[in-house]
Amino acid sequence: MSPSWQLTELCLEPLRNLRATPVRTAVTVGLVALVLGGLALVELDATERVLALRAELDERGAHVFIVRAEDGLPAARCEALRGLTGVRSAGGVRLSETVAPLVAPRLRFQAAAVTTGILPVWDPGYRQAEGTGFVIGRSVADELAVDSGARLTLADGRRDVVAGILDVDDRYPEAARWIVEVVPPSGRVSECWVEFFPSASGIARDLLAAWFEGPGNQVEVRWLRPPDEFARDPARELATRPQAAAWLPLGGVVGLLAALVSWLRRSEAALYAVLGVRNWGLVLMAQLEAVVVVSSGYLLGVAWAAAIAEAVGGPIGLDQVALAGRSAASAALVAMLAAPAGVIPILRWRVVDLLRDR
């Protein structure tokens, strides 16, 4: 028997053993899938809760910045921020005198001129209307009993349709009683509002200060919602989740399960030894069998965990699956490395004593 042929046989023998005992193989793979899939399901649930928290903070303006300068800011420069990577939207606002509607001259509302990009910063659900017209806060709409498309006449003679209504309670409640007009980005604005994607908000202050920097121009950059206003931080909660290190003990549990199976089959190992398989060959066979069983359980477990998570909580993202898969894969790797431990005690026994166990 040539060494290469012997090595080939040693690699194929674990597959033959698994096919020869389908019930035992199915039970072992199922237990591995249950453990690894459970870990993946817990990770998917944790990431879903973190994403929900991040969405809630985003809704409240956790990544919105307001830029001011004593002499105002160039409106075109503010609006141009919308073209930068990492910026969701940006726009400027310039306050005017208060105005009164012709139908209720005793009511006074704040008037302002804004550039287009500020509206989705104030109201993330706002959709740009076709054409031009007044954009009013929800309180103005309720007090005047008007809706989008209605015609609004102001006491100063201005007349136009209501192009949109802003819901600003979460981010800028003061604008709920504003009547604003969208103007081209020319001249100067008193404030520039900028919303960043979460991944880019860390560099926002430095970027904005440099963006508006100029001779004698003292720029003030502040958060709409300071970070210490929020009691919970999505990044911190993800990093400190209790199951972050669970892959190590769970991988050990799966590895011990595979080692126990090898120990219970010690009489089979004795037969291989009688047939001339050396100690390293027994370890190799146990290792290859563990790789097949644990890999199958890993794929099955992550698949059913993803299916359950999507059925219960709705669509899940690839980044969530990647995190859950990585944790389960780490546990699977530990299990594969620990599985051959069941063969080591067998190597110290006499073959005759092992054969008596048959």
188 vs 168: CA distance, rounded Å: 24
| Strand (E) or helix (H) holding 193 | strand 188-196
Which H or E element spans position 222? Answer: strand 219-223
> What pLDDT shows up at residue 177?
94
Contact status, residue 134 vs residue 162, Cβ threshold 8 Å: yes
Per-residue pLDDT band for 257 (boundaries 50, 70, 90) equals confident
- pLDDT band with cut points at 50, 70 and 90 for residue 1: very low
β-pairing verdict for 188-196 and 64-74: antiparallel
Reported confidence tier of residue 344, pLDDT bands at 50, 70, 90? low
| Res 76 pLDDT > 70 | yes
- CA 36 to chain centroid, in Å, comes to 21
pLDDT band for 89, please (50, 70, 90 cuts).
very high
Distance of alpha carbon 70 from alpha carbon 218, whole angstroms: 7
Query: What is residue 306's predicted lDDT score, i.e. its pLDDT?
Result: 92
The amino acid at 343: V
| Dist. CA 258–CA 262, nearest whole Å | 6
Question: Which helix or strand (DSSP H or E) is residue 153 part of?
Answer: strand 151-153
5 confidence band (pLDDT: 50, 70, 90): very low
Question: Is pLDDT of 66 > 70?
Answer: yes
Q: Which residue has the higher pLDDT, 20 or 30?
A: 30
**Rounded (to 5) percent helix, strand, coil in the chain:** 60, 20, 25
Contact residues for 177 (Cβ-Cβ < 8 A; gap 6+): 109, 110, 137, 139, 140, 143
The span from the CA of 340 to the CA of 86, in Å, is 49
Percentage of the chain modeled with pLDDT above 70: 83
pLDDT for residue 352: 46
- Angstrom distances, CA of residue 178 to CA of 14, 111, 143, 185, 301: 75, 6, 12, 19, 55
Residue 216 has pLDDT above 60, yes or no: no
Quote the mean pLDDT of the chain.
83
The predicted pLDDT at position 339 comes to: 79
Per-residue confidence band for 302, with pLDDT thresholds at 50, 70 and 90: very high
Position 142 pLDDT exceeds 80: yes
Assess whether pLDDT exceeds 80 at residue 42.
yes
Band of residue 3 on the pLDDT scale cut at 50, 70, 90: very low
Rounded CA-CA distance 241/220 in Å is 36
> Alpha-carbon distance 315 to 236, whole Å?
24
The model's confidence at residue 266, banded by pLDDT at 50, 70 and 90, is low
Higher pLDDT, 260 or 177: 177
pLDDT (0 to 100) of residue 332:
92
Q: Report the C-alpha gap between 121 and 68 in whole angstroms.
A: 16
- 75 pLDDT higher than 60: yes
For residue 2, the model assigns a pLDDT of: 41
Q: Which residue has the tokens 């860390």?
A: 202
- Residue pLDDT, tens place only, 148-192: 888 998 888 888 899 889 999 889 999 999 999 999 999 999 999
Tokens 């008007």 -> residue: 146
- Tell me which of 115 and 347 has the higher pLDDT: 115
Q: What is the mean pLDDT of residues 265-291?
A: 68
Q: Are strands 151-153 and 159-166 parallel, antiparallel or unpaired?
A: antiparallel
Q: How far, in Å, CA of 124 to CA of 143, rounded?
A: 23
Question: Does residue 221 surpass a pLDDT of 50?
Answer: yes
pLDDT at res. 132:
77
Alpha carbon of 347 to those of 123, 238, 259, 270, 287: distances in Å? Answer: 71, 44, 13, 9, 15
Measure the CA–CA gap between 214 and 140, rounded to whole angstroms: 38
Q: What is the pLDDT of residue 4?
A: 41
| pLDDT value of position 129 | 64
Domain ranges of the chain: 7-56+236-357, 64-224
Q: How far apart are CA 63 and CA 38, in angstroms?
A: 34
